[in-house]
Chains A and B, each alone.
Chain A
Amino acid sequence: MSHLKVEGLSIDFGGLRAVDKLSFEIAPGTIHSIIGPNGAGKTTLFNLITGIYAPTEGRVLLDGEEVTGLPPHHLARRGMCRTFQNLQIFDRMTAAENVMLGRHLQETTGFFSHLFRLPAVVAENARTRERAVQLLDHVGLAEQADTPAGSLPYGALKRLEIARALAGEPKMLLLDEPAAGCNAVETQEIDALIQSVAEGGVTVVLVEHDMHLVMNISNHILVLDYGKKLAEGTAEQVRRNPDVVAAYLGQQADAEAAHA
Chain B
Amino acid sequence: MSAWLMQPRTGGLLLLAAVMVAIYLAAPNNFYLDVAIQIGLNAMVVVGLNLLIGYAGQISLGHAGFFGLGAYASAVLPVHLGVPPLAAPFVGMLVVGLLAFLVARPVLRLKGHYLAMATLGLGLLVFMLLTNESQFTGGPDGMAVERLRIFGERISGKDWWYLITCVMLLLSVWLTLNLIDSPTGRALRALHDSQIAAQVAGVDVARFKVIAFVYSAMLASLAGSMSALYSGFVTPDKAGFLHSIELVIMVVLGGMGSTFGGIIGAAVLTSLPQFLTVFAEYEHMILGAILMAVMIFLRRGLLPAILDALRRRRLS
Selected interface stretch from A81-89, A189-197, A245-253: A81-89
The one of A76, A93, A111, A114 that contacts B201, using a Cβ cutoff of 8 Å: A76
Give a binary string over B181-206; 1 marks a CB under 8 Å from any A CB, 0 the rest.
Answer: 11111110110111011111111110
- Distance in angstroms between the alpha carbons of A92 and B186 in the assembled complex: 11
Once the chains bind, are A114 and B194 in contact (CB under 8 Å)?
no
Chain B residues near A115 (CB, 8 Å)? 175, 178-179
Give a binary string over A49-64; 1 marks a CB under 8 Å from any B CB, 0 the rest.
Answer: 0101000000000000
State the interface size on chain B (CB cutoff 8 A): 27
- Distance in angstroms between the alpha carbons of A73 and B192 in the assembled complex: 16
Is B257's beta carbon under 8 Å from chain A?
yes
| Given known contacts A114-B179, A114-B182, A114-B185, A93 and B199 CB-to-CB distance under 8 angstroms | no
Is A228's beta carbon under 8 Å from chain B?
no
- Distance in angstroms between the alpha carbons of A89 and B185 in the assembled complex: 16
Is B17's beta carbon under 8 Å from chain A?
no
Once the chains bind, are B182 and A92 in contact (CB under 8 Å)?
no
Is B211's beta carbon under 8 Å from chain A?
yes
**A-B pairs under 8 A by CB, number:** 98
Once the chains bind, are A90 and B189 in contact (CB under 8 Å)?
yes
Is A121's beta carbon under 8 Å from chain B?
yes
Nearest Cβ on chain B to A44's Cβ, whole angstroms: 14
Once the chains bind, are A89 and B181 in contact (CB under 8 Å)?
no
Once the chains bind, are A92 and B189 in contact (CB under 8 Å)?
yes
Nearest Cβ on chain A to B93's Cβ, whole angstroms: 14
Once the chains bind, are B175 and A92 in contact (CB under 8 Å)?
no
Nearest Cβ on chain A to B295's Cβ, whole angstroms: 18
- Distance in angstroms between the alpha carbons of A164 and B184 in the assembled complex: 17
Selected interface stretch from A8-16, A100-108, A134-142, A230-238: A100-108
Once the chains bind, are A117 and B203 in contact (CB under 8 Å)?
no
| Given known contacts A72-B199, A76-B200, A115-B178, A107 and B183 CB-to-CB distance under 8 angstroms | yes
Is A124's beta carbon under 8 Å from chain B?
yes
Once the chains bind, are A104 and B201 in contact (CB under 8 Å)?
yes
Closest A residue to B178 by CB, please name it.
Answer: A117
Is A188's beta carbon under 8 Å from chain B?
no
Chain B residues near A81 (CB, 8 Å)? 200-201
Interface size class of A (residues with CB under 8 A): 35 or more
Once the chains bind, are B193 and A93 in contact (CB under 8 Å)?
yes
For window 177-204 of A, CB contacts with B under 8 Å fall at: none
Q: Is the interface of B mostly helix, strand, loop or mixed?
A: helix
| Given known contacts A73-B205, A90-B190, A104 and B183 CB-to-CB distance under 8 angstroms | yes
Chain B residues near A109 (CB, 8 Å)? 182-183
Is A225's beta carbon under 8 Å from chain B?
no
- Distance in angstroms between the alpha carbons of A101 and B196 in the assembled complex: 13
- Distance in angstroms between the alpha carbons of A164 and B190 in the assembled complex: 12
For window 202-244 of A, CB contacts with B under 8 Å fall at: none
Chain B residues near A111 (CB, 8 Å)? 184, 211
Give a binary string over B153-183; 1 marks a CB under 8 Å from any A CB, 0 the rest.
Answer: 0000000000000000000000100110111
Closest A residue to B204 by CB, please name it.
Answer: A73
- Distance in angstroms between the alpha carbons of A63 and B184 in the assembled complex: 30
Once the chains bind, are A97 and B204 in contact (CB under 8 Å)?
no
- Distance in angstroms between the alpha carbons of A36 and B184 in the assembled complex: 40
For window 126-171 of A, CB contacts with B under 8 Å fall at: 128, 164-165, 167-168
Closest B residue to A88 by CB, please name it.
Answer: B197
The one of A50, A73, A88, A100 that contacts B186, using a Cβ cutoff of 8 Å: A100
Chain B residues near A84 (CB, 8 Å)? 196-197
| Given known contacts A90-B197, A100-B186, A109-B183, A114 and B202 CB-to-CB distance under 8 angstroms | no
Chain A residues near B183 (CB, 8 Å)? 104, 107, 109, 114, 121, 124, 128
Closest A residue to B175 by CB, please name it.
Answer: A115
| Given known contacts A92-B192, A101-B190, A116 and B175 CB-to-CB distance under 8 angstroms | yes
Once the chains bind, are B193 and A91 in contact (CB under 8 Å)?
yes
Once the chains bind, are A92 and B202 in contact (CB under 8 Å)?
no
Once the chains bind, are B196 and A125 in contact (CB under 8 Å)?
no
| Given known contacts A77-B202, A81-B200, A168-B202, A101 and B186 CB-to-CB distance under 8 angstroms | yes
Chain A interface (Cβ < 8 Å from any Cβ of B)? 50, 52, 71-73, 76-77, 81-82, 84, 88-93, 97, 100-102, 104-105, 107, 109, 111, 113-117, 121, 124-125, 128, 164-165, 167-168
- Nearest first, the 3 A-B pairs at minimum CB distance are A76-B202, A114-B182, A88-B197
Given contacts A109-B183, A114-B179, 10 further A-B contacts (CB under 8 A): A76-B199, A91-B193, A92-B192, A93-B186, A93-B189, A97-B189, A101-B186, A109-B182, A121-B182, A125-B181
6 A–B contacts, CB within 8 A, in A order:
A72-B199, A89-B194, A90-B192, A92-B257, A104-B201, A121-B182
